Amino acid sequence: MTDATPAPTTTPSPAATTPETRASTRASTRDRLLDAAAELFYREGVGVGIEALCRTAGVSKRSMYQLFASKDEVVAASLERAAPAYEAYLLPPAGDGRPPRARIMHVFERLEEAAAAPDFRGCPLVAAAVEVKSPEHPASVVARRGKDALTAFFQQEAERGGAENPALLARQLTIVFDGSSARAVVQACGLDGLAVATASVLLDAAGLPA
Amino acid sequence: MTDATPAPTTTPSPAATTPETRASTRASTRDRLLDAAAELFYREGVGVGIEALCRTAGVSKRSMYQLFASKDEVVAASLERAAPAYEAYLLPPAGDGRPPRARIMHVFERLEEAAAAPDFRGCPLVAAAVEVKSPEHPASVVARRGKDALTAFFQQEAERGGAENPALLARQLTIVFDGSSARAVVQACGLDGLAVATASVLLDAAGLPA
DNA sequence: TCGCTTGGAAACCGATCGGTTTCCTCGCAC
DNA sequence: GTGCGAGGAAACCGATCGGTTTCCAAGCGA
């Protein structure tokens, strides 16, 4: 099987072990590992080996297996660690004064922005769930939680905006989000306003005013 | 990494080598291989090894590598072989007398039906594209073609029904299709009419009459 | 200075990876 | 009967898999 990328290995361990770099690398072993895992698993898939993961993270396998019982748990933990930053990127700031509709559209504008990047690989949560092929996998559980959080945000804003059926609208918007991600992956090109346009149709139909 | 399934191996080779079974197994080596590949790759992911693939297909690696240059090509070819049956399942018969809207909704009804199965793993084309993580991969090319075919069907029916912007509507419907698939995978439960309902909203908004 | 914990490096385990090759047995045309 | 091609079984290649273990050096409190 062809590797997705030649794994450019951005000067991983050697520089990370010099004294002053070690001083600046204040992140704990666990954090370094999970950050590297999140990036590697997203970029190349959860099929990446522990060997390669530990090499790029600058963490020994010994340390890794003291922190986690198995690779599956590393996958789930990396997803969990990346989730807050992912949500912070997608969602609007908590208390901006904008109306619900604008706050919802913010998410789709962010998605269009992210999907324009050539290394966009879709929603990390969905990608992980698709790859592990099992709803019971710890990573699938984390993915489910993350998607529920997005839907909950949609629903909360829909309620605030007086939509007809906030729960239904929220699930529909999540579908548009994931469908747009999938399209960007398969078509290997930007969304060109398609996600924004489709979400708008649903918001209009639900009677959520601008 | 935990296997997605314990690979129940539905009595593959032994029965398939008895004389009369061999007589009934008129499928060519190539077809047997690709059929097994399509099922295995969909159920367990493209990470399955050719060793396991050839074992379950009852085909020697030698024969496989005479037919295909690499595993990547097997993945792409298996997708290509499965595509017609997949489309035949989703799409309505060519000349049924039903109006465009009903023909479009047929696809989403089929999707809801498929997503209700406990072993549903999403759209095989999207799943493959997500897993291989590369738009240049031969399997991604096949997936793109398949998705384009679905969009083309939507657009053709949208035009026939006099929708306002058939091309846009078709892409939006494809997004709903893929988003619904993703939801069924992540939530590990049926769609409960959500795909049908969402598609309906878009059809209404586009002015496509029942 | 001692003893202890921490954790990195790396060997090691059996299994499997994608891929190639050798051997040998079929079935079939002549 | 004989020659030949197709193709299955299986060994083989180096590499890597997930996971465990051994060894040893650094750090640190007492």
Q: pLDDT tens track of chain B, all 210 residues?
A: 554 444 343 333 333 333 333 333 457 888 999 999 999 999 999 999 999 999 999 999 999 999 999 999 999 999 999 999 999 999 999 989 999 999 999 999 999 999 999 999 999 999 999 999 999 999 999 999 999 999 999 999 999 999 999 999 999 999 999 999 999 999 999 999 999 999 999 999 999 988
- Could you report the per-residue pLDDT of A137-159, keeping only the tens digit for each? 999 999 999 999 999 999 999 99
Nucleic strand C under 7 Å from the C-beta of B134: no
User: Touching check for A122 and chain B: CB below 8 Å?
Assistant: yes
Q: What is the pLDDT of residue B26?
A: 52
- Could you report the per-residue pLDDT of A28-40, keeping only the tens digit for each? 888 999 999 999 9
Least confident of A15-29, A183-197, B109-123: A15-29
Q: What is the pLDDT of residue B149?
A: 98
Check residue A165 and give left, alpha or beta (phi > 0: left; psi -120 to 50: alpha). beta
| Pairwise CA distance, residues B151 & B182, whole Å | 17
| Residues whose CB is less than 8 angstroms from the CB of residue A155 and which lie 6 or more positions away in sequence, other chains included | A166, A167, A169, A170
Sign of CA dihedral A61, A64, A69, A73: negative
Chain B contact set for A182 (CB, 8 A): 123, 126, 130, 175, 178-179, 181-182
User: Touching check for A190 and chain B: CB below 8 Å?
Assistant: no
CB A177 within 8 A of CB A123: yes
User: Touching check for B47 and chain A: CB below 8 Å?
Assistant: yes
Matching residue, tokens 């370094």: A32
Q: Which residue of B41, B51, B187 is the best one to mutate when testing the A interface, meaning the one whose CB has the most A CBs within 10 A? A: B187
Please answer yes or no on whether A201 and B197 come within 8 Å at the CB atom. Answer: no
Partner-chain residue, chosen from A47, A174, A205, that has the shortest CB–CB distance to B47: A47
Least confident of A23-27, A38-42, A172-176, B191-195: A23-27
Chain A contact set for B123 (CB, 8 A): 182
pTM of the model: 0.88
| Three-state DSSP string of A25-44 | CCCCHHHHHHHHHHHHHHHH
Chain C: bases < 7 Å from a protein Cβ: 7-11, 16-22
Partner-chain residue, chosen from A47, A140, A179, that has the shortest CB–CB distance to B178: A179
Chain B contact set for A144 (CB, 8 A): 186-188
| Residues whose CB is less than 8 angstroms from the CB of residue A120 and which lie 6 or more positions away in sequence, other chains included | A114, A184, A185
Measuring alpha carbon to C1', the residue closest to nucleotide C20 is B62
Query: Given a cut of 90, is residue A107 above it in pLDDT?
Result: yes
Query: Given a cut of 60, is residue A7 above it in pLDDT?
Result: no
Matching residue, tokens 């208390």: A95
Q: What is the pLDDT of residue B10?
A: 35
Q: What is the pLDDT of residue A1?
A: 53
Q: What is the pLDDT of residue A4?
A: 46
Q: Which residue of A44, A73, A133 is the best one to mutate when testing the B interface, meaning the one whose CB has the most B CBs within 10 A? A: A133
Partner-chain residue, chosen from A1, A70, A126, that has the shortest CB–CB distance to B71: A1
Mean pLDDT of A161-178: 97
Q: What is the pLDDT of residue A99?
A: 97
Least confident of A105-109, A132-136, A197-201: A132-136
| Three-state DSSP string of chain A | CCCCCCCCCCCCHHHHCCHHHHHHCCCCHHHHHHHHHHHHHHHHCCCCCHHHHHHHHCCCHHHHHHHCCCHHHHHHHHHHHHHHHHHHHHCCCCCCCCCHHHHHHHHHHHHHHHHCCCCCCCCHHHHHHHHHCCCCCHHHHHHHHHHHHHHHHHHHHHHHCCCCCHHHHHHHHHHHHHHHHHHHHHHCCCCCCHHHHHHHHHHHHCCCCC
Please answer yes or no on whether B130 and A121 come within 8 Å at the CB atom. Answer: yes
- Using the structure, give the distance in angstroms from the CA atom of B108 to the C1' atom of C26, rounded to a whole number: 50
- Using the structure, give the distance in angstroms from the CA atom of B67 to the C1' atom of D6, rounded to a whole number: 13
Q: Which long-range contacts (CB under 8 A, 24 or more apart) does A31-37 make?
A: A31/A81, A32/A57, A32/A58, A32/A59, A33/A57, A33/A59, A33/A63, A33/A64, A33/A67, A33/A74, A34/A74, A34/A77, A34/A78, A34/A81, A34/A82, A35/A78, A35/A81, A37/A74, A37/A75, A37/A77, A37/A78
The residue type found at B169 is L
Q: What is the pLDDT of residue A209?
A: 87
Nucleic strand D under 7 Å from the C-beta of A47: yes
Query: Given a cut of 50, is residue A56 above it in pLDDT?
Result: yes
Chain B contact set for A123 (CB, 8 A): 182
Chain A contact set for B39 (CB, 8 A): none
